[in-house]
Amino acid sequence: MIPKQDSSPVFFFPDVNDYKRLRDLLHQAGFLDAGVLQTLGLTDLPSVENDHPLLLDRTGSGSPLHTLIRLFLMELEVEAAILRQAIRPMTIESWQQAGLIRRHGEKVSAAVKLLPFQNLVLAFDLPAMLRSGQRQQYVMGIGGSTITLANLTIRKHSRQTLDLGCGCGVHAFLAAPHSDRTVAVDINPRALRLAEFNAGLNNIANLDCRQGNFFDPVAHEKFDLIISNPPFVISPETRFIYRDGGMEADSVCRQIVHEAPRLLNQGGFCQILCNWAQKNGEYWQKEMEEWFEGSGCDVWVMRSESLSAAAYASKWIRHTELDDRDMDFPHRFHHWMAYYEKLGIESFGAGLITMRKADKQKNWFRADESPANMLGQCGASVEQGFLLRDFLETVGDDDALLNTSLRHSPDLRLEQQFEPSGQGWKVKSSLIHLTKGLAYKGNSDTVIANLMIHCDGRKKLRNLVKDMAAAMGTSAPQVTPFACQLIRKLIEQGFLLPAEQKMK
């Protein structure tokens, strides 16, 4: 979607030293994740409520930190005189000129949100802009999708990284420390200006910001990593550049996955958050597989959500309308549903697509459900998921699998619940789970749990399956097909790992 005329303020300090001054001032005040969370007594920042009485009480001292929190996080007016003291040696006038604040007589309000996030401080638009005449150019901040992609990004060394649809620049900045060079692309000039401002504020030097449509500004370059949180929402609207790709159904994401392989180096990864239309939800994997035919990439689609058309429309309209008693809500809902009906869309899938460029005879494709829990940084688990699927490709028949030795993940745990019985405690349920990254979990009977714990990297799987069959009072050939199917699943989810292979 091409933005209408851009009427952004500059988001720029004419004196280049002001970026460092602002950075130092925020650090000295304690305006970083930990300091702000501690002051507010909260566990996460994106959800700060504006005039919560408790938060007001906790930020009333007039200290620089309290003043900055009230101004930029709680979006309250503060006294100009107090702010002037708090931001010395900078001046209110320079902040106003840079587009950070607005002056109303003796009071000052924020013109952007300024949020600490993972040791960065990021400027982006105030939510109120969604209801203004400038709404189309709204630059989003740290949303749920931002955090999901940040946690799932593969953070290994990259010679060149692309953040496609960079918004305020967050993914580019998070990738900068593990990339020699990072390119941030966005079609919205306002987003680019905020990203450039944020790059200065966070002292990110190895970054190049470029305006343009998707891959146009980098058409002749190659990347080891492409990350994108694109405007993936599927709707008949084109109201917001950050949300509406302006193409039919899921064509935005299709176009990105279609074009990305051409820009990837061998072994390079493209990770994109995606929503897709499911014409027949039951066969979603088959529908998705068609997207990647001839891509020259191994592909792993992790679905985190599937919503009916009605639930999807309601969720996304609520995102921006904020109040569902709004007269526009039923009208919009009807409009969205009619669009889905016309396109024959039954439901929507959402999740992460990871592609790895691999020129070989036959690329693999996997699509499965993501675990309910993703704990902390999961990029290493995603990369390991690729190595495990590569391994499974090499042991296609059961005999080959049985000839290998496996070891259990160090993050494997077994939880059992017991219930009283005539003979004392009886096992009611056994749950295996992983404690880090992609923290898959599943029921496991004691027999399988025992097989797993004996996977020590030395014994051949064939012998362990034999022992398991004996414990069950049956023969190895009887249990082998089922056991191998289950073991493949346990390998795919990272519970069991090939003994010889070095894993992440």
Ligand X SMILES: C[S@@+](CC[C@H](N)C(=O)[O-])C[C@H]1O[C@@H](n2cnc3c(N)ncnc32)[C@H](O)[C@@H]1O
- Interface contacts to ligand X, rule CB under 6 A: 1, 140, 143, 146, 149, 165-167, 170-171, 185-188, 191, 213-214, 229-231, 241-242, 245
Q: Which of 192, 212, 208 is nearest to 11 (CA)?
A: 192
* Contact between 136 and 4 (Cβ < 8 Å): yes
Query: Considering beta carbons, is residue 171 or 303 the nearer one to ligand X?
Result: 171
Please check whether residue 280 is in contact with residue 287, taking contact to mean a CB–CB distance below 8 angstroms: yes
Contacts 24+ apart (CB under 8 A), 471-474: 471/447, 472/447
Measured from the CB atom, is 176 or 497 closer to ligand X? 176
Least distance CB 36 / ligand X (angstroms): 19
Shortest distance, position 188 Cβ to ligand X, whole Å = 4
For ligand X, the closer CB: 196 or 467: 196
- Residue whose entry in the numeric block shows the structure tokens 């020590």: 456
Cβ proximity to ligand X, 40 vs 256, nearer residue = 256
Closest among 453, 387, 363, 461 to 416, alpha carbons compared: 453
- The smaller minimum CB distance to ligand X, of residues 115 and 166, is found at 166
| Beta-carbon count within 10 A of 207 CB | 24
**Closer Cβ to ligand X, 19 or 232, answer by number:** 232
Q: 207: which 2 tokens? A: 């970054």
What are 406's strand-pairing partners? Answer: 498
Nearest to 300 by CA among 344, 348, 262, 354: 354
Please provide the distance, in angstroms rounded to a whole number, between the alpha carbons at the two ends of the chain.
39
Between CA 459 and CA 476 the distance in angstroms is 16
Is residue 221 within 8 A of residue 259, CB to CB? The reply is: no
Q: Whole-number minimum distance, CB 484 to ligand X, in Å?
A: 40
* Alpha-carbon span 271 to 504, nearest angstrom: 18
Considering beta carbons, is residue 64 or 165 the nearer one to ligand X?
Answer: 165
Query: For residue 469, how many other CB atoms are within 10 A of its CB?
Result: 18
Least distance from C-beta 131 to ligand X, angstroms?
Answer: 18
Q: Shortest approach of ligand X to residue 192 CB, angstroms?
A: 9
Q: Which is nearer to ligand X, 140 or 464 (CB)?
A: 140
Q: Which residue, 213 or 429, is less far from ligand X as judged by CB?
A: 213
Asked whether 123 and 194 are in contact (CB, 8 A), the reply is yes
Residue 156 gets which letter from DSSP?
A: S
- In angstroms, the CA 416 to CA 403 distance is 31
Q: How far is the CB of 16 from ligand X (least distance, A)?
A: 25
3-state secondary structure 177-188: HHEEEEEEEECC
CA distance 235 to 494: 36
Task: State in angstroms the smallest separation of the CB of 146 from ligand X.
Answer: 3
Work out how close the CB of 94 gets to ligand X at its nearest, in angstroms, rounded to a whole number. 27
Least distance from C-beta 215 to ligand X, angstroms?
A: 8
